[in-house]
Structure 1
Amino acid sequence: MKTLRFLGITLLTVMLAVNFTACSDEEESLDLNSLEGTWMLIHSKGWELCSNAPEKDEWDKDYDFSTLNSDSERIIITKIADNKYSFSFGYYTGTNWYNEPSTTGTINGQTAELKDSPYYSNPVIESLTSDRMVVRVTYNEVSTGEEGHYHSGDITNTYIKK
């Protein structure tokens, strides 16, 4: 009986230790050596809701970056200084690449803190390897105009390095 109780207590202790370890509130730090380069969108899943649209727009879509088309998107990330990067977001117009004006930013934990970006508000890099990056953006914006428009969404994009 003592052996059975001892095994039960040991098993309970191990389970509690695993649960406490798995529930850390700290953000995982990224190996930023892989961040610099050209990243092509291969998958996007998410939703957007706008006050001027009657329904929530939802999608779960794969993209083939090897055949450029109007759905092709990329991010070019260039290191400027220690923990300071240039981010250039672009999409294919059907004949050439259109790049939005570059923005600069830093990485704090897993969050990219972008300066003056009209499109992405502090995206979170959920995972980063030498050839794959998963980025999540959540936003909830309300305009200050007379009509009080709102725009909210939750988007997870997967990129591969070209």
Structure 2
Amino acid sequence: MTHPSTARHHWLMKSEPGECSIDDALQAPGATVAWTGVRNYQARNFMRDAMQVGDGVLFYHSSCPEPGIAGIARVASDTRPDPTQFDPSSPYFDPKSPADKPRWLLRDVQALKKTRLIGLPEMRATPELTDMVVLQRGSRLSITPVSEAHWRFITEKMAGR
């Protein structure tokens, strides 16, 4: 049995392509971007308490004409305060977040490769993915855990098609 502190996790992380697409991430220095703007406590807690450097990420385009998995990435840093919470010109500004005890965190994410778009309709129609968190009714979180079975199926069977 793997010790919990060394176990790797997998995540689906949503980004609006108008803000940061898989292409943007791949073109960033070191193909690495700061994952800013998370403003949900459960998603923040996943980043803070469960994510580890090296964890796999399904890079998901959301709030766009064709939402879906667009690439593979990895968690590339520990958490640190998200600077957008302190920037009054940012849509992610949070006037109630104290500078000495920041409410919101980020992690760096390194894009590894672009995949073909695995759209939401295809994901919903794939029996092997029916219990995937992102497909559950009412699931709106920007970061969700991905099981080992779902990760393997998507990365080995779907992403390269």
Of structures 1 and 2, the one scoring higher in RCO (CA 8 A, sep 6+) is: 2
Structure with the higher helix share, 1 or 2 = 2
The alignment's TM-score, normalised by the length of structure 1, stands at 0.22
The alignment's TM-score, normalised by the length of structure 2, stands at 0.22
Structure with the higher strand share, 1 or 2 = 1
User: Which protein has the larger Cα radius of gyration, Structure 1 or Structure 2?
Assistant: 1
